[in-house]
Structure 1
Amino acid sequence: MNSSKHAQALAELDSPDPAVRVKALRFIKNNIIGNKTKKDLYISLNIIPKLVSFFKNKEGIDPQVQIQAAIVLGSFAYGGENNVAELAKHGAVKPLLECISIKNDPRLIEAAARALKAIYKCPKADKNDIFQDAHLRDLIILLNPDSLNPKTDREKIASVHTSELAATIIARCCETNEQQIQIESAGAFPALVKLLVCGFSKAQEAALDALAYLCRENSEFGKAIVETKSETNDSPVRIMLNLIRDKSPTMQLVSAKCLTHLSRANAITEYFNDITLTVLPTLVKLLDEKGPVREEAPQVLAYLIRDNEELQKAACDSGAILKLADFVTHVADQENSYYDPLGDSDKLKENALMALAAISSLTDDGRKLLLSDESTDVQKTACATICNIVLEFSPMKRIIIEQGGIEKLVELVQSSDNTLRLNAIWALKNLVYNAESEIKDSVMKALTYPTLETLIMDQEVDIQEKALNLLRNLACTKPYDIEEVFKGLGENCLMDIIENKLCSWNEEIIKQGVPTPHRLRSSPGRIRELRQLGFEDMVKSMMNDENLDVREKAKTALSQFSQV
């Protein structure tokens, strides 16, 4: 990259002529917005300390220079955690906080607030500075659009936007109970409730988000918010219930989120019917949206229905389970336009699993609905969902066992549909992964070792591989588990299986067939048996395999052979 023009722009920041500085800052701004490479370049040229100096030494600094410098700092903050760390290292946060004072130019206040919003979006950003000096008071003042004395329509719109930024910053800075208390003491509740009826959707959404976080797990503040009257004398809850019917999915989500947090704080017990008939169905409907709304909706739904059997049943009845299960199994399928490639698929999957775990934590309906459906496609999705749930929510293993899940999965292993058979054996394999011996015994009591042996020799290679993986998981990691496998299959049968699979043409089958340290460690006598059967030589030959995983497993196995 030719960096001469960028170095020149950087040098022009030292010009005594404010017009030259502003021109250079605009050039830099236009180059870095949305361009990580250019941002990295300017950071490497040590631009941040120079930008910060425009705020620390205010004498003789043109306001336009500060406005443009704040915009550039904000653009750097949108570049990710490393950039935010660079801004913090060079002391950019405090000068920006000083810029949000009402005595400054409204354009500078807006630019600084926008930069602070980007900085505080980073989870690792230090929030302590905002609670120092008068910065929190300044933010609360900015929640009122009239505080900037707008005269024209354009100025009024800009003032509301600044209020939106202030509310967003507050929402990101109330992570602890102590922070909640400080924000409430500064007078946030009346100002945020007033913003709920300002008529500008983005500002209303920001106010709802801030109120949601201020009452999270805080019954006292939840009740205080409910008792705060708006300028129209309407109850905040009624305002939220009106906003949840807005045509904007984002407005629906943040309204539902705020009402959910108030409900969880036991602040609106008299509105339980509204929660059941309005908030919950809205969240389920939002699962059909795309992008960030769909990503966050399962998380809010999980929080709403947690520990409440009636709401969990309502979620089942609303069809939430199949939608959430579909996210878990198909979220990465980019061929289907329903799935948004711009979203965070891992986060959506995580939130969907969280919601599924919440739905099935207390209700039998939630646990049984996936597997007992008459549709083969639904059963496939159910099995695939269980694969994920039992891995990421280990308490669900016991719940699935208690609700007859093992027996149902074993039944599906016998299906004529190969995909369903595969998903069922996959779910059983995950169920015994790192499980207690009692769970492994329950699985094999239902499945039986003869059936497992048949699956290991199945004509479908994928089923063979998952069945072998199940066998590996059964044999890990306690001596008792290993003995049960030898007892269940018989030593000769087990040796035959290992020998057969090590000769397979399929690399995945070979990897599953290589004896693991957990098995070899159980008894020197068995290692000698394997050596006599020629397994050591077979494993040695695999040290030259093209597949790195095969070589690594072979190396590990040989290290165990060498100990006897």
Structure 2
Amino acid sequence: MAWTKHEKAVSELDSLDPEVLVKALRFIKNNIIGNKTKKDLYIGFNIIPKLVSFVDMTTATETTNSAKTTALQGDIYTQVKIQAAIVLGSFAYGGEANVSKIVKNGGVKPLLDCIASTNDPKLIEAAARALKAIYTSPTADKNDIFQANHLHNLIILLNPAALNPKSDREKIASAHTAELAATIIARCCDTNDQQIQIANAGAFPALVRLLSCEYAKAQEAALDALAYLCRENTEFGREIVQTQSDLSKNPVKIMLELIRDNSPTMRLIAARCLTHLSRDNAIPEYTNDISLVVLPTLVKLLDEKGPVREEAPHVLAYLIRDNEELQKAACDADAVSKLAGIVTHVADEETSYYNATGDSDKLKEHALTALAAMSSLYDNGRKLVVDAKIIPHIVTAMSHKSYGVRSAACQLTKSLSRSVHILRTSLVDAGITGPLFKLLSDESTDVQTIACATFCNMVLEFSPMKRTILELGGIEKLVELVHSPDNNIRLNAIWGLKNLICHAESDIKDSVMKILTYQMLATLIDDPEIDVQEQALNLLRNLASSRETDIEEVFKGLGEEKLMNIVEKKLCWSNPQIIKQTLYIISNIASGNERHMQSIMTRSDILNNILAYMTHDMPDIRLVAVWCLNNLTWMKDKHLNTQDRVRRLRQLGFEEQVKKMANDEDLDVRERVKSAISQFSELS
């Protein structure tokens, strides 16, 4: 059977003739670049292990028993490595499946070995290009780069002069290699430990110097690396700001110059770097530049095409998150209508005769995320989103094939549901409850988490969706999620149940506890996650509020002894939120009947802790401690037990302490203190 020319090229990879080998590699390279079908063909021939072995071959001057390595000497040897690295790089640009095959065949370390500055510049560039493609994949293992001298070699390559370029062509090639090195570094900053190792290797001065080079792509890569090195890292953000370039320019001023560049890509990456520094609180003196330069730049970039438009909403969302002033500024800059236009346009594409691309999925996700950020704190932002008439698109997005889009749709719904008016009208009218409820069972834990968090708003006492959610089996589903091994899902589920019974009728509380059980509640109160403990205690607080019959149900459910043991134990914690929720439980119990109050009065440790917390640094804790005292001294009638309680509390020093608090700095505390002093006076 006759061989095809491709099979012939593959067979020639076993040749001992170096010229034949180089020729075969070049043939393969020329066929696969930009051609996915040919890439798949050659991968099917299983040539990746051979390519890795070529890149991994030792030099001819080193001792080896390999006949092939002995034959491949001098320049021809280097050519083999270069061509093999180029082919590997082309495969890597073919997608994550190809990257996975290269990684599994041990291709990363040999490529990293090639980037030493003592090697041929063309080999370095070919290896760096392949590594850039490999590290673009989120599944690529980054550990090898932090072994041996690999990171040190990359830092050296950030200097375009490191390869001693002579001609203009060589200078351009060196700048391109610096760009590749910076991009690789940017892709290896996933964890704080990785950030630290890269910083300790001297990346900051080298990257800041690269910002001032004459090559735009290298500047973009340097900005990208600096942005990822300081993301969520205040210390590194400040260190970058304090790093000077060779021209003694402040790096922030360089970034502010680059954000005005003609290139949309440059403006975007500069805006991202400045956004990360701003989020790190590393540039407080540039607050005006953030609101007057960075934010408007990002809003204008929403009008661009391609990757810039796709990424701009994502950066904008990160910039304005948790900042109401910036959210207002973004709304004033007409960002809502631009983002709503993106959502509508992508939705129209998805319903057209052709399939929307993966890029449109990401664009829609980022646009929804930015709208969620813009309306998370700013009420007028929520109104603008509703007025943009995209709520039907949000509902539809909850069934989108992309989990990122589904998650973003939930996030936007959560932001909008913070407005009681919007929750009662627009969201209800759009029929959002059913699609949102389905997402509690989504295959993605990220989607489940945010859907569960969104439901926390939907089940509050003022929500018209509360009964609908109960009819859909909301209690059963939230209780199911309470048992999730995922900490965030478990937290949001218990949070949702807590909101569900807040100011609820007794029948709803009973329905919840029949399914959740008091035994499970006690387990959650001792959950390994503090946040889960806090919400579980808050749930217990809500169960024991409003009515004596509800308090009695809690006593029956947990048992008086166990309930008081929980309270006594949690009062000894140092976490202020745990303390506050526990004090609220005591306050609610103390609002019950005489038996309920006596369960507290017989516990000296509980009483002593209440007294101690009346001098706590946090006014919230002082306030609820005084509430406990008010309820314990409240006289429903002139019952002898009331006088006994007051006498005991006086002996412990409560009256003396509350009088000292008459001029407390907090107004709410002072008001409660007045009531407490008055009640002591009535029973003197």
Q: TM-score, normalised by structure 1?
A: 0.72
CA 1:133 to 1:440, structure 2 compared with 1: closer, same or farther past 3 Å?
Answer: closer
Residue 51 of structure 1 is matched in structure 2 by: 51
Query: Could you tell me how far 1:407 is from its partner in structure 2?
Result: 4.2
Greater alpha carbon shift after TM alignment, 86-95 vs 252-261: 86-95
1:151 match: secondary structure: coil
What is the aligned counterpart of 1:296 among 289, 311, 319?
A: 311
State how far apart, in whole Å, the 1-side matches of 2:343 and 2:130 are: 35
Q: Aligned equivalents of 2:102 and 2:173: distance in 1?
A: 26
What is the rounded CA distance, in whole Å, between the counterparts of 2:423 and 2:197 in structure 1? 51
Residues 1:409 and 2:426 are matched in the alignment: yes
Of 145, 149, 157, 2:172 maps to: 157
CA contact 1:13–1:21 (8 Å) conserved in 2 = yes
Equivalent residue for 2:430, pick from 409, 419, 425: 425
Work out whether residues 410 and 436 of structure 2, in 8 Å CA contact, stay in contact via their aligned partners in 1: no
Q: 1:400 corresponds to which letter in structure 2?
A: S
Paired residue type of 2:242: E
Given candidates 174, 186, 189, the residue that maps to 1:174 is 189
Could you tell me which of 382, 393, 415 is aligned with 1:384? 393
Give the equivalent residue in structure 1 for 2:32.
32
Residue matched to 2:130:
115
- Structure 1 unaligned regions, length at least 5: 414-423, 450-470, 482-564
Question: Does 1:20 pair with 2:20?
Answer: yes
- 3-state SS of 2:190 partner: coil
Residue of structure 1 equivalent to 2:472: 476
Amino acid at match of 2:51: L
Alignment-mate amino acid for residue 22 of structure 2: V
User: Is the Cα contact below 8 Å between 1:243 and 1:255 reproduced in 2?
Assistant: yes
User: Is residue 55–residue 85 contact of structure 2 (8 Å, CA) maintained in 1?
Assistant: no
Structure 2 residue matching 1:79: 3-state secondary structure? coil
1:320 aligns with 335
Matched, 1:235 2:250: yes
TM-aligned CA deviation for residue 385 of structure 1:
3.8
Contact 2:234/2:282 (CA < 8 Å) preserved in 1?
Answer: yes
Provide the rounded CA distance (Å) in 1 between the counterparts of 2:121 and 2:9.
Answer: 27
CA distance in 2, matches of 1:257, 1:203: 16
Shift of residue 71, structure 1, vs aligned partner? 0.2
**SS at the partner of 2:390?**
helix
Summarize deviations over 1:475-522 as a string: whole Å, max 9, x none. 4115899xxxxxxxxxxxxxxxxxxxxxxxxxxxxxxxxxxxxxxxxx
- The alpha-carbon deviation at position 307 of structure 1 amounts to 0.9
Rate the CA distance shift 1:190–1:315 in 2: closer, same or farther, 3 A: same
* 1:306 is the counterpart of 2:302: no
Distance in structure 2 (CA, Å) of the matches to 1:445 and 1:135: 57
Deviation of 1:175 (Å): 0.7
Could you tell which deviates more after superposition, 115-124 or 35-44? Answer: 35-44
Verify the 8 A CA contact 1:295 1:343 in the aligned structure 2.
no
1-side partners of 2:474 and 2:87: how far apart?
A: 59
Distance in structure 2 (CA, Å) of the matches to 1:480 and 1:74: 51
SS at match of 2:255: helix
The answer (yes or no) to whether the contact 1:291–1:342 under 8 Å persists in 2 is: no
- Residue 183 of structure 1, CA deviation: 0.5
CA distance in 1, matches of 2:258, 2:273: 11
Note the C-alpha offset of 1:14. 2.2
The letter of the residue matching 1:22 is: V
What SS does the aligned partner of 2:213 have?
coil
CA contact (8 A) 1:364 1:403 kept: no
Aligned to 2:485: none
**Aligned residues of 2:391 and 2:430 also touching (Cα < 8 A):** no
Q: CA separation in 1, counterparts of 2:178 and 2:317?
A: 30
* Cα 1:335–1:118 shift into 2, 3 Å: closer
The answer to whether the Cα contact below 8 Å between 1:284 and 1:318 also exists between their aligned partners in 2 is yes
Instruction: Give the conservation status (yes or no) of the 8 Å contact 1:160–1:203.
Output: yes
Distance verdict in 2 for CA 1:386–1:334, change over 3 Å: closer
- Counterpart Cα distance in 1 of 2:300 and 2:457: 41
Compute the RMSD of aligned alpha carbons.
3.0
Residue identity in the other structure for 1:405: I
Displacement of 1:8: 0.7
1:154 and 1:436 map into 2 onto residues whose CA distance is 61
The answer to whether structure 1 residue 331 and structure 2 residue 340 are counterparts is: no
Instruction: Quote how far apart the aligned CAs of 1:325 are.
Output: 2.0
Listed one character per residue, the Cα deviations across residues 68-126 of structure 1 (whole Å, up to 9, x for unaligned) are 11000001111111111111111111111010001100000000000000110110000
Give 1:222 deviation, angstroms: 0.5
Per-residue CA distance 1:297-330 (angstroms, 9 max, x = gap): 1111111111111111111111111222222233
Residues 227 and 273, structure 2, Cα contact 8 Å, conserved in 1 = yes
Match of 1:366 among 363, 366, 381: 381
Q: Cα–Cα, structure 1 residues 53 and 387, in superposed 2: closer, same or farther, change >3 Å?
A: closer
The residue number in structure 1 matching 2:275 is 260
The Cα offsets for residues 401-441 of structure 1, whole Å up to 9 and x where unpaired, read as: 6341144428xx9xxxxxxxxxx434465467665796498
Q: Within 2, Cα distance between the matches of 1:336 and 1:232?
A: 54
In 1, the alpha carbon distance for the partners of 2:210 and 2:458 equals 57
- The answer (yes or no) to whether the contact 2:154–2:181 under 8 Å persists in 1 is yes
Q: 1: CA distance between counterparts of 2:109 and 2:158?
A: 20
Distance 1:476 1:109, change over 3 A: same
Question: Equivalents in 2 of 1:160, 1:444: separation in Å?
Answer: 61
Name the CA distance, whole Å, in 1 between partners of 2:38 and 2:426. Answer: 54
Paired letter, 1:477: G
- Which residue matches 1:10? 10
| CA distance 1:398–1:360, change in 2 (3 Å) | closer
| Equivalent position to 1:393, from 391, 400, 410 | 410
| Structure 2 counterpart of 1:545 | none
Equivalent residues of 1:329, 1:385 under 8 A apart: no
1:356 equivalent among 368, 371, 374? 371
Q: 2:362 aligns with which of 304, 325, 347?
A: 347
Q: Distance in 2 between matches of 1:202 and 1:401?
A: 43
Change (3 A) 1:94 1:214: same
Q: 1: CA distance between counterparts of 2:476 and 2:52?
A: 65
Which one-letter code corresponds to 1:231 in the other structure?
A: D
- For residues 132 and 431 of structure 2, what CA distance do their matches in structure 1 show? 45
Kept in 2: contact 1:292–1:343 (CA 8 A) = no
Aligned residue for 1:186?
Answer: 201
Deviates more, 1:255-264 or 1:398-407: 398-407
Query: Which amino acid is 2:25 matched to?
Result: L
CA contact (8 A) 2:372 2:412 kept: no
Paired residue for 1:246? 261
Report the number of matched residues.
Answer: 438
Q: Equivalents in 2 of 1:52, 1:428: separation in Å?
A: 54
Mapped partners of 2:30, 2:210: distance in 1? 33
Q: Distance in 1 between matches of 2:300 and 2:249?
A: 27
**Residues of 1 paired with 2:94 and 2:6: CA distance?**
18
Q: 2: distance between equivalents of 1:69 and 1:361? A: 51
The corresponding residue for 2:499 is: none
Change in Cα spacing, 1:431 to 1:441, as seen in structure 2 (3 Å) is farther
Q: CA deviation at 1:54?
A: 1.4
1:438/1:357 CA distance change after superposition, 3 Å: closer
Change (3 A) 1:80 1:363: same
How far is the alpha carbon of 1:397 from its aligned partner?
Answer: 4.1
Question: How far is 1:394 from its partner?
Answer: 5.8
Distance in 1, matches of 2:44 and 2:247, equals 53
> Is 1:207 aligned to 2:203, yes or no?
no
| Residue aligning to 1:78 | 93
Quote the Cα distance in structure 2 between the aligned partners of 1:365 and 1:243.
Answer: 33
